[in-house]
Structure 1
Amino acid sequence: MSTQEQQEQHVCPTCGTANELDALAKREYRCSQCNLELAHLDVAANGVIRGIFGWLHGVGDTIENRYQVKSVLGKGGFGATYLVEDLRLSGKRRAVKEVPELLFDEYETTLLSRLNHPSIPDIIDRNVVEGMVYLVLEFGGSRTLGGERKQYPERRIPQAKLLPWMRQLCEVLIYLHSQDPPIIHRDLKPDNILLDETGRIMLIDFGIAKESKPATMTRTLGRAATHGFSPPEQAMGTGTDERSDIYALAATFYALLTGENPPAAHERVAGKELVPPSQIVPDISPRLEAAILQALNLNVNHRQQTVKEFSQVLDALNQDIQNPVTHTKEYTERTVMVGRTIGVTGATGFHTPSIKLPSGRITSAKTASTLEAATQQVSRRNVILLIAGITIVLVAILATGYLLWPKTDSEKVETATGEPTTEETKTEETTTSGATIGEPAIKVQADEKKDVGKSSAIVEVEKKLGKQDISETGQTGGDDKAADVAMQKDIEEKKKREDKNRKLRAQADADAKRKAERKAEDQRKAKAAQEAEERRRAIDQFGSSMQRRQ
C-alpha cells in the first residue's frame, strides 16, 4: 500500500477499524464500526464542520515523549481523554485530557486547582504541543462507566452493582454544589465518569462547568450541551443551576441502568415520550424509578431541588440490600396479599399463579428461613386481626339492632313509667271495675289507661316544654284528652319541621358537592391549559434560541 493510500485511512483507536478519509468526512469523522469521533472538529456556530484541529492518538502513541497511550477513555465535544502510562515513573497510570488550544478555556484549570475531593482528580502537569493542550490528571484506573456498560448484555449495568457508583457521584455533586458560589458541572455523562481499580469513581471534564452566580453570564464554551444528558434549560441557554446537574445525574443513571440513552431534551419538549425504566428493566425498584422520573422532569421546579434528596433514595435502597429481609419488603408485600387471597378463595377452586421473587434477593438458606418465618408471623397476626375485626362488627350489629328494634305499646309504657304493664293485668283491672271496691278501682283503671295512651315521645316533649305530668293536674278526663290531642299536634308539627330541615340540609349538601365538583373540573382545565401554554412557550423559546444560534 502506498504512502498516499495510508494517509487516506485512519484506524480507530478503540475498535481497530480502518476508515477511509472520504468516508469519514461524510460520517462527520465517526468510525464506521463503533461511531467514535476520530478527530477534534472545528464546528461553526450553525453546526457546520469547517475542518479538523487534529486526529486522536492511537494505542501505543507517545505524548510529550513521556505518556504512552493505552486506550481512549472518552471523546467529547471539545476534547478527548486517554488512559496513559508514565514512562518516567515505571509505567504509573495517568489520565491525559487533550483539548485543541483554540478551544481551551483556562477556567477548568483554575477551577480544579481549588477543589479537594477524592472523586475529583488533581492536575499534576500541563503542556502545549503542536496546537494541543494536555492536562495530566492523577488517576489509577483504566475505564469509564461508559466503557463499563459495554461489558454487559444489552449495555445494562445491574442495579446492585451500579448503585454504589451512583451514590459516590451524588457525594461529589453535593460537594460541588456546596461551594461558594455553587459549581455546576453541566456535562455529566457516562464517558466523563472514570472508574479506578478500587471501585472509586472520578469525575472529569469540567470544561463547561460554571459557578452559579445570578449576575454572571455563562461562558461561550459553557453553552454546549450533550445530546440526551443535558436538561432543556441548558440546551436552550435559559440558565442552569443545581437542578440542571440533577437532570443529567438521572439521565446518566437511566442510560446505565436501561442500556438506552434518554431522548434529547428538545425532542421531549416537542412531544417525544420518555419510556419509564420499568418497561425496559422490569425488576427495577419502584422507588428508584420514581426518583429517576422526577429528576428527568422537563420543569425544573418539579425535580428534586437538591442532589441530597435524590441521594436519600439511593441510601435507603442500599440499606435494603444490606438487610435482605427489608430489601424484599416492597416485593413481598404483593406476595403476602396474594397469599391472603388464596386463603380466602381457595375453597372455591380458584388458584392464583405463584409469584416468583426477583432473583438475587435471597442469598442463603438462613436468609430464606428468616424470610419464611417472618411471612408466617405476618400471616398469623393477620388471621388474629381478622377474627377480632369480625367479632367487633357482629357485636356492633347486635347492639344497633337492639337499640333500633320497634317497641310494643306495653314496652313503651314500661319505658315511660318504669312499671311493667301486660294485657293480663289490664284485664284484671277491667274486671275489678264492677267489684265492691267501687270508685277507687275505676280511678286506678282510668289513670293507667291515661298513661298507656301517652307515648314516651309525649312524655319527653312534656319534659322539654316544662309541663307537669297530666296525671298530676287533677283535671277531668275530658281535659286530659284535649291536652293529649294538643300535644300530639305539637309533635306532628315538630316532626314536619324536622323533615323540612332534613330536606334543606340534604339539598345544601348536594349543592355544595356539585359546586366542589365544578371547581375541581375548572382547576383541572386551568392546569391543563397552563401546561399546554408552558409547553408552547418552551417550544417557541427553543425555536428562537436555535434561530439566534444560526
Structure 2
Amino acid sequence: MGNVQQQVGKRMVVGRHEVEAVQYLGEGGSSFIFLVKDMRAPPTASPLVLKRLVAHNEQTADWIASEIRLHQRLSHPQVVQFISSQTSKARGDKSEIFILMEYCPGGHLQENMLKMGAKRFAQHELLRTFKSLCEPVAMLHAQNPPIAHRDLKLENFLLGKEGVYKLCDFGSCVEGPQSLTTKADRMRESDNVSKRTTAMYRSPELADVEGTAMFGSGELTEAVDVWAMGCILYSMAFFKSPFPLEGLRTDRYTIPANSSYSPDVHAIIARMLTADVEKRATIDHIMECIDEVVCGRPLPPLPGASKKKEKSKDASAKTSASESIKKTEARKETVASKAPDASDLLNMDFNPTISDSKPPAKAAAPNTFDANWAAPTEGFADFASFPSPTSFGGNGAFAPGPAKVDPFDLPPNPIKQQAPAAPTSSVFDFAPKLMLHLQLYFMVDCQGSAWVSNKWANHT
C-alpha cells in the first residue's frame, strides 16, 4: 500500500462511518492499524481503530470474512468492540477490507509488563489479572460449536479505558473441532498453523499436526487455547516464556527455583501445560482453581477424574465377570464332553500350562516315563511349545514346582534343553513315534497324566 504514513490525514467511509486517519499505530501480518476519528460523531467522542487488510487471493479473503463474521457475533465486556466493516476492490485481483473497532488506550499486556521493570506481580494481582484474561476465552469456548481463538498471546490483550484487558484479533479463529482424518485435512491445518499462530504459544497438537493425526486425538479443539493461556500465566509470573521463541521442542518446562508463588499457582500452570489433551484442564476449570486459591481453599480435582476412575473400575469389573463366566462355561462343556478324537486337536490349547479348559488331572498310575528319550537332531520340526521329558517325574506324575519357561512364556524346548542322543534310526523310522508323542501331548491336556502313563505302558 506504499508508504503507510501517507494514509494519515486521509478520509474513508466504513459502513455508516466516515473516518479520518489520525495516527499510524503499527502492523501485523497482512494488516495495518490506524488511529482514526469519526467525522460524524461529536468532537468529544473517543477515537477508534481502523484495521486495514489486503486479500491477495480467495483463501485470504475467506479468512478475513470469517474474522468479520465472528467478531460481529462476539459481544462481551472483555472483547474489543466491533463497530463496522467495509470491503472494496483493489488493483488486480486484490481486495481491500477495513474493520472499524473500539480503541483501547492502555496498550497491550506485554507492553505494560515491560514498563514494570524489575517489579513483579503479587500473587493476588497475578491471579486476578489472569482470571480477567480467561473470561473472554471462556466465552469463546462456550459457543455452539466452541470457538478456538488459536492466537492467544500477551500482545492480543489490550487494556481498555475501563481498566480491564480486552481480547482482540480474531483472524485465526476456527469453529468446532478440526478433523485430521484425511491428508487434505492435515495439509490444510498445517498451513493454517504455520501462517496464523505464534510459534512459542503452540500446543503439542498444533506443533505436530501429523503426530496428532496418527497418535493423538485425530482432531484439533479449543484445548489449544488452554495451552496458550498456560504460556501466558507462566510469562506473567516469571517474565519469560516457558518454551523457545521458535516453537515447541519438548513439553517440559521448569519453574524458577526463586519463584515467589505458591505451589498452587505452579499447579494451575501445570494443569494447562499438559501435553495430553484428555488430561488438560478446561478454561472453566482454571477459573474455578483461581477462585479457590484466592479464597485460601485447596485446588479442586480435575473435572471427570473421579468419573473416569469409576468408569474404569466398572469396565474392569464387567470384563472380569464376563471372562469368569466364559471360563466356567468352557470348563463345564469340557467335563461334559466325550473323550476327544483327532478332530478336537484344532480346538485345544497348545500350552498345557495356560489352558483354561482342561478338567482336574487324575492321579497318575505308577509307571515310568522314558526319560532317555531325545528328539533327533536333524529333520525335526522345532515346536517351541512341545513338552520336555524333564517336565514329568520319574513315576509318570508331573514333577513338583512350575516348569521353566522362556521369555515368551513358552514351555522349554526339548531340543534346547536336552543333549542330543546318537541317532539309531532314520527320521522316517521315528515319524510314527513322533505322531504318537504329539497325540499324547494333546490328550494329556484333557484326560490327565494317568491316561498317558497307561498308553505309554501299552506302547512300550
TM-score, structure 1 length as denominator?
Answer: 0.43
Shift of 1:95: 2.8
> Which residue of the other structure, out of 280, 287, 296, is the alignment partner of 1:303?
280
User: Are 2:48 and 1:77 equivalent residues in the alignment?
Assistant: no
CA distance change for structure 1 residues 311 and 81 in 2, over 3 Å: closer, same or farther?
farther
* One-letter code aligned to 1:298: A
Q: What CA distance in whole angstroms lies between the structure 2 residues aligned with 1:272 and 1:213? A: 22
Check whether the contact 2:199–2:246 (CA below 8 A) recurs between aligned residues. no
> Which residue of the other structure, out of 97, 107, 117, is the alignment partner of 1:153?
117
Superposed counterparts of 1:100-115, under 5 Å = 100-102=54-56, 103-104=60-61, 105=63, 106-115=65-74
What percentage of aligned pairs have identical amino acids? 25
Aligned to 1:191: 155
Q: What CA distance in whole angstroms lies between the structure 1 residues aligned with 2:33 and 2:293? A: 33
* One-letter code aligned to 2:52: E
Listed one character per residue, the Cα deviations across residues 93-115 of structure 1 (whole Å, up to 9, x for unaligned) are 22332322224421111112222
> Which residue of the other structure, out of 109, 133, 142, is the alignment partner of 1:169?
133
Check whether the contact 2:19–2:36 (CA below 8 A) recurs between aligned residues. no
Check whether the contact 2:108–2:159 (CA below 8 A) recurs between aligned residues. yes
User: Are 2:294 and 1:318 equivalent residues in the alignment?
Assistant: yes
> Which residue of the other structure, out of 43, 46, 68, is the alignment partner of 1:92?
46
Aligned to 2:107: 143
Specify which structure has the higher proportion of helix: 1
Check whether the contact 1:61–1:68 (CA below 8 A) recurs between aligned residues. yes
Question: What residue ranges of structure 1 are gaps of 5+ in the alignment?
Answer: 1-52, 321-325, 328-550
Q: What CA distance in whole angstroms lies between the structure 2 residues aligned with 1:145 and 1:139? A: 15
Q: What CA distance in whole angstroms lies between the structure 2 residues aligned with 1:214 and 1:153? A: 41
CA distance change for structure 1 residues 235 and 272 in 2, over 3 Å: closer, same or farther?
closer
Number of residue-to-residue matches in the alignment: 265
Superposed counterparts of 1:480-499, under 5 Å = none
CA distance change for structure 1 residues 162 and 56 in 2, over 3 Å: closer, same or farther?
farther
Q: What CA distance in whole angstroms lies between the structure 1 residues aligned with 2:30 and 2:205? A: 21
Q: What CA distance in whole angstroms lies between the structure 2 residues aligned with 1:148 and 1:58? A: 29
> Which residue of the other structure, out of 219, 222, 225, is the alignment partner of 2:197?
225
Listed one character per residue, the Cα deviations across residues 389-416 of structure 1 (whole Å, up to 9, x for unaligned) are xxxxxxxxxxxxxxxxxxxxxxxxxxxx
CA distance change for structure 1 residues 59 and 167 in 2, over 3 Å: closer, same or farther?
farther
* One-letter code aligned to 2:19: R
Shift of 1:168: 2.0
Q: What CA distance in whole angstroms lies between the structure 1 residues aligned with 2:246 and 2:208? A: 8
Shift of 1:315: 1.4
Q: What RMSD, in angstroms, separates the aligned Cα atoms of the two structures?
A: 3.3
Aligned to 1:263: 243
Check whether the contact 1:188–1:249 (CA below 8 A) recurs between aligned residues. yes
Select the structure of larger CA radius of gyration.
1
Check whether the contact 1:231–1:248 (CA below 8 A) recurs between aligned residues. yes
Aligned to 1:426: none
Shift of 1:253: 1.6
SS at match of 1:133: strand
SS at match of 2:264: helix
SS at match of 2:69: helix
Check whether the contact 1:143–1:195 (CA below 8 A) recurs between aligned residues. yes
> Which residue of the other structure, out of 123, 130, 142, is the alignment partner of 1:178?
142
Q: What CA distance in whole angstroms lies between the structure 2 residues aligned with 1:230 and 1:86? A: 38
SS at match of 1:257: helix
Check whether the contact 1:229–1:264 (CA below 8 A) recurs between aligned residues. no
Listed one character per residue, the Cα deviations across residues 502-521 of structure 1 (whole Å, up to 9, x for unaligned) are xxxxxxxxxxxxxxxxxxxx
Q: What CA distance in whole angstroms lies between the structure 2 residues aligned with 1:62 and 1:158? A: 45
> Which residue of the other structure, out of 72, 83, 86, is the alignment partner of 1:124?
83
Superposed counterparts of 1:492-507, under 5 Å = none
CA distance change for structure 1 residues 81 and 284 in 2, over 3 Å: closer, same or farther?
farther
Q: What CA distance in whole angstroms lies between the structure 2 residues aligned with 1:261 and 1:272? A: 13
Aligned to 2:440: none
Q: What CA distance in whole angstroms lies between the structure 2 residues aligned with 1:267 and 1:234? A: 10
Check whether the contact 1:155–1:258 (CA below 8 A) recurs between aligned residues. no
Check whether the contact 1:181–1:211 (CA below 8 A) recurs between aligned residues. yes
Aligned to 1:66: 19
CA distance change for structure 1 residues 176 and 154 in 2, over 3 Å: closer, same or farther?
same
Shift of 1:169: 2.1
Shift of 1:176: 1.1
Check whether the contact 1:182–1:211 (CA below 8 A) recurs between aligned residues. yes
Q: What CA distance in whole angstroms lies between the structure 2 residues aligned with 1:111 and 1:202? A: 16
SS at match of 1:316: helix
Q: What CA distance in whole angstroms lies between the structure 2 residues aligned with 1:268 and 1:140? A: 31
Aligned to 1:249: 229
Shift of 1:242: 2.2
Shift of 1:136: 0.8
Q: What CA distance in whole angstroms lies between the structure 2 residues aligned with 1:69 and 1:262? A: 38
SS at match of 2:125: helix
* One-letter code aligned to 1:297: T
CA distance change for structure 1 residues 57 and 226 in 2, over 3 Å: closer, same or farther?
farther
Check whether the contact 1:230–1:265 (CA below 8 A) recurs between aligned residues. no
SS at match of 2:201: coil
Quick one: higher RCO (CA 8 Å, sep 6+), 1 or 2?
A: 2
User: Are 2:267 and 1:290 equivalent residues in the alignment?
Assistant: yes
Q: What CA distance in whole angstroms lies between the structure 1 residues aligned with 2:241 and 2:11? A: 33
Q: What CA distance in whole angstroms lies between the structure 2 residues aligned with 1:295 and 1:260? A: 17
CA distance change for structure 1 residues 187 and 94 in 2, over 3 Å: closer, same or farther?
same
Aligned to 1:387: none
Listed one character per residue, the Cα deviations across residues 440-491 of structure 1 (whole Å, up to 9, x for unaligned) are xxxxxxxxxxxxxxxxxxxxxxxxxxxxxxxxxxxxxxxxxxxxxxxxxxxx
* One-letter code aligned to 1:151: K
Check whether the contact 1:154–1:259 (CA below 8 A) recurs between aligned residues. no
Listed one character per residue, the Cα deviations across residues 400-445 of structure 1 (whole Å, up to 9, x for unaligned) are xxxxxxxxxxxxxxxxxxxxxxxxxxxxxxxxxxxxxxxxxxxxxx
* One-letter code aligned to 1:93: P
TM-score, structure 2 length as denominator?
Answer: 0.50
Shift of 1:143: 1.4
Q: What CA distance in whole angstroms lies between the structure 2 residues aligned with 1:173 and 1:76? A: 21
Question: What residue ranges of structure 2 are gaps of 5+ in the alignment?
Answer: 13-17, 213-218, 299-460
Q: What CA distance in whole angstroms lies between the structure 1 residues aligned with 2:69 and 2:280? A: 31
Listed one character per residue, the Cα deviations across residues 360-381 of structure 1 (whole Å, up to 9, x for unaligned) are xxxxxxxxxxxxxxxxxxxxxx
CA distance change for structure 1 residues 145 and 308 in 2, over 3 Å: closer, same or farther?
same
Check whether the contact 1:232–1:266 (CA below 8 A) recurs between aligned residues. no
Check whether the contact 2:137–2:283 (CA below 8 A) recurs between aligned residues. yes
> Which residue of the other structure, out of 167, 181, 196, is the alignment partner of 1:203?
167
User: Are 2:208 and 1:236 equivalent residues in the alignment?
Assistant: yes
Listed one character per residue, the Cα deviations across residues 55-112 of structure 1 (whole Å, up to 9, x for unaligned) are 655996656382434463x644343444444354325222332322224421111112
